[in-house]
């Protein structure tokens, strides 16, 4: 069974907050749910499927379904880190195609900024039953240094430079200047990035995404529901997902799970990277973007550095406009999980509702891709391809 | 902060929490033996240690490793109370493992550099397998 054309994204809403010390986590989820349903022109009583991941408080979907007081006949709490919400859209399309639900709600929210979380640089002990913890936590594996080792190896194998990585941040900043909600709206230069303080070699401060509160939600619906609504029709064309780890010790840091999820999504969608007018690419760090672009086939492995240089990712300038909301590098990274906002901006682009300064003309096919967990140890990857009908 | 003077030996390494599957490994570290798991069926060594071979699901057994390796990748965490070097080291026996590089000049580290085992004590647990550059 293919999900191609079996479901539509009818509602999409991003919480404007970037710092919410006065709100509870469940409340943020609820505000996002309300926003996305209102955007679609639906009510909470229309929802019969609910999707969430590890950012939702409580056991899987139990607490949030109860808090939101939903009457559901399908739930899914697949957690592949920040890429979960991209995978959820594909799962929702599968459930809708199988007749398990008609209106699927996906929510994400988090408040790491209010909680003072040093997201990227603090090693976290984790559950001692997690088999890798005893062999990794003592060595101080955090987030930044896990991604940094990928960057270091990529530089070694392919000659990728810090200046090339910096172009990714530069492009994001060009977009963020037009987003009034973005945390960082100043346009930066390659020099600004490579001269910012080193966090974990070779990643500088400006190679890292922001830490923000916030959230977002999506409503995925059956075709007949979508056609009954007044919103532009954003059709799900294809989806893919995978998990990649250390391969039993045959560690290869040069590629991501996107090498599996990307081709699967393209095959299901029946399109190629050349057909993609806009791409949302998870940007926890600059290196994340570069490796994912290669794995998705936008350029050959090892050519990512050249591909992202000279403004090639800037809307209106380059060949592949990316993260036109400013992405995680400049706008927000709610719950330390960037997959939701990746889908949200892709939907805005397909609807023609992105900021006019960054709107891609005739944006009919878009992609969202994410990496969840740690690129340098074990991570999930999810790819979603959508079309404006 | 003078990052040139930073050495990971200053960082207090937390003790690992063994499981029934790995008690022998950590006892080996206490006894000065660096053990890895090798498959009795396919013969391949792997990392981190598992009872079932991650390549063929065969039964595995402990074998002492040489402690020799080369740096596959590394990163010095500069934004930490005490900067430290995390790394992947490829062992002479084949597998690549996550570790720390210790007792070294962080700014002289290079991918491909030869290293050898130099365990680091933990405050209330067994020593952990860390490495230091050779020569």
Please give, one letter per residue, the 3-state secondary structure of A278-321.
EEEECCCEHHHHHHHHHHHCCCCCCCHHHHHHHHCCCCCCCCCC
Residue of B34, B52, B79 for testing the chain A interface, max A β-carbons within 10 Å: B79
CB burial of A80-111 (b: ≥16 within 10 Å; e: otherwise) equals bbbbbbbbbbbbbbbbbbeebbbbbbbbbbbb
Q: pLDDT digits over B77-135, tens only?
A: 999 999 999 999 999 999 999 999 999 999 999 999 999 999 999 989 999 999 999 97
- Find the CB nearest A251 among B72, B77, B84: B72
The arithmetic mean of pLDDT across residues A232-249, rounded, is 98
Is residue A374 included in any domain, yes or no? yes
| Rounded Cα distance, A296 and A71, in Å | 38
| Rounded Cα distance, A36 and A103, in Å | 12
Is residue A126 included in any domain, yes or no? no
Is residue A56 included in any domain, yes or no? yes
Is residue A197 included in any domain, yes or no? no
pLDDT given at position B3: 38
The arithmetic mean of pLDDT across residues A292-311, rounded, is 98
Based on the structure, what is the number of domains in chain A?
1
CB burial of B111-135 (b: ≥16 within 10 Å; e: otherwise) equals bebebebbbbebeebbbbbbbbbee
3-state secondary structure A347-368: HHHHHCCCCCCCCCCCCCEEEE
3-state secondary structure of A275: helix
Domain boundaries, position A374: 8-115+209-388
Is residue B4 included in any domain, yes or no? no
Residue B42 clears pLDDT 50, i.e. is over it: yes
Based on the structure, what is the number of domains in chain B?
1
The yes/no answer to whether this complex scores an ipTM above 0.90 is yes
CB-hemisphere CA count at 13 Å for B50? 21
Tell me the residues of chain B between 6 and 65 that have a Cβ less than 8 Å away from chain A: 11, 13-19, 21-22, 44-50, 53-55
Beta bridge partners of A385: A238, A367
- Size of the A and B interface in Cβ pairs below 8 Å: 127
Selection from B94, B95, B83, B87 nearest residue B118 by Cα: B87
Percent of chain A past pLDDT 70, that is, above it, reads 100
Which pTM was predicted?
Answer: 0.97
Domain boundaries, position B52: 19-133
| Rounded Cα distance, A112 and A333, in Å | 9
Is residue A110 included in any domain, yes or no? yes
Q: pLDDT digits over A315-343, tens only?
A: 999 999 999 999 999 999 999 999 999 99
- CATH number for B55: 2.40.50.840
pLDDT given at position B123: 86
Pairwise CB contact (< 8 Å): A121 & B11: no
- For strand A198-200 and strand A203-204, is the pairing parallel, antiparallel, or unpaired? antiparallel
Is residue A265 included in any domain, yes or no? yes
Is residue B7 included in any domain, yes or no? no
Let me know: does B77 contact B86? Beta carbons within 8 Å: yes
For chain B, say whether A150 makes contact (Cβ under 8 Å).
yes
Residue of A122, A138, A155, A162 for testing the chain B interface, max B β-carbons within 10 Å: A138
- CATH number for A266: 3.40.47.10
Beta bridge partners of B69: B91, B115
The CA-based diameter of chain B, rounded to the nearest angstrom, is 52
């Amino acid at each position: 069974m293919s999900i191609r054309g079996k479901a539509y994204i009818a509602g999409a809403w991003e919480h404007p907050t970037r710092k919410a010390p006065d709100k509870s986590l469940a409340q943020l989820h609820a505000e996002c749910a309300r926003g996305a349903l209102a955007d679609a022109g639906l009510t909470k009583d229309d929802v019969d499927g609910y999707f969430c991941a590890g950012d939702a408080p409580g056991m899987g979907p139990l607490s949030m379904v109860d808090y939101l007081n939903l009457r559901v006949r399908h739930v899914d709490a697949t957690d592949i880190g920040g890429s979960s919400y991209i995978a959820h859209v594909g799962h929702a399309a599968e459930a809708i195609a199988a007749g398990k639900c008609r209106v699927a709600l996906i929510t994400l929210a988090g408040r790491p900024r209010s909680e003072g979380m040093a997201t990227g640089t603090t090693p976290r002990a984790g559950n001692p039953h997690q088999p890798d913890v005893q062999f990794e936590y003592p060595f101080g594996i955090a987030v930044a240094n896990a991604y940094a080792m990928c960057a270091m190896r990529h530089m070694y194998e392919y000659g990728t430079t810090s200046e090339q990585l910096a172009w990714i941040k530069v492009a994001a900043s060009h977009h963020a200047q037009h987003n009034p909600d973005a945390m960082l709206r100043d346009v930066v230069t390659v020099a600004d990035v490579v001269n910012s303080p080193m966090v974990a070699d070779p990643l500088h401060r400006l190679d890292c995404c922001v830490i923000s509160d916030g959230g977002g939600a999506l409503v995925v619906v059956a075709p007949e529901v979508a056609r009954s609504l007044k919103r532009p029709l954003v059709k799900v064309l294809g989806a893919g997902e995978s998990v990649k780890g250390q391969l039993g010790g045959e560690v290869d840091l040069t590629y991501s799970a996107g090498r599996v999820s990307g081709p699967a999504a393209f095959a299901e969608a029946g399109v190629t990277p050349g057909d993609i007018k806009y791409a949302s690419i998870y940007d926890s760090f600059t290196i994340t973007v570069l490796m994912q672009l290669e794995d998705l086939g936008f350029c050959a492995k090892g050519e990512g550095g050249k591909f992202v240089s000279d403004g090639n990712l800037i809307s209106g300038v380059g060949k592949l406009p990316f993260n036109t909301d400013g992405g995680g590098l400049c706008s927000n990274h709610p719950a330390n999980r960037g997959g939701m906002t990746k889908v949200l901006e892709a939907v805005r682009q397909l609807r023609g509702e992105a900021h006019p300064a960054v709107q891609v003309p005739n944006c009919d096919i878009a992609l969202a891709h994410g990496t969840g967990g740690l690129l340098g140890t074990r991570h999930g990857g999810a790819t979603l391809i959508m079309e404006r009908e | 902060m003078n990052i040139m003077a930073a050495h990971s030996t200053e960082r207090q390494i937390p003790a690992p929490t063994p499981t029934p599957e790995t008690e022998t490994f950590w006892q080996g570290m206490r006894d000065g033996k660096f053990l890895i798991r090798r498959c009795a069926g396919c013969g391949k060594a792997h990392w981190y240690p598992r009872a079932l071979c991650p390549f063929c699901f065969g039964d595995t057994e402990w074998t002492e490793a040489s402690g020799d390796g080369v740096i596959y990748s590394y990163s010095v965490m500069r934004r930490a109370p005490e900067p430290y070097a995390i790394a992947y080291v490829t062992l002479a026996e084949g597998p690549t493992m996550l570790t720390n590089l210790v007792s070294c000049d962080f700014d002289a580290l290079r991918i491909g550099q030869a290293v050898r085992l130099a365990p680091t004590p933990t405050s209330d647990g067994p020593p952990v397998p860390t490495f230091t550059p050779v020569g």
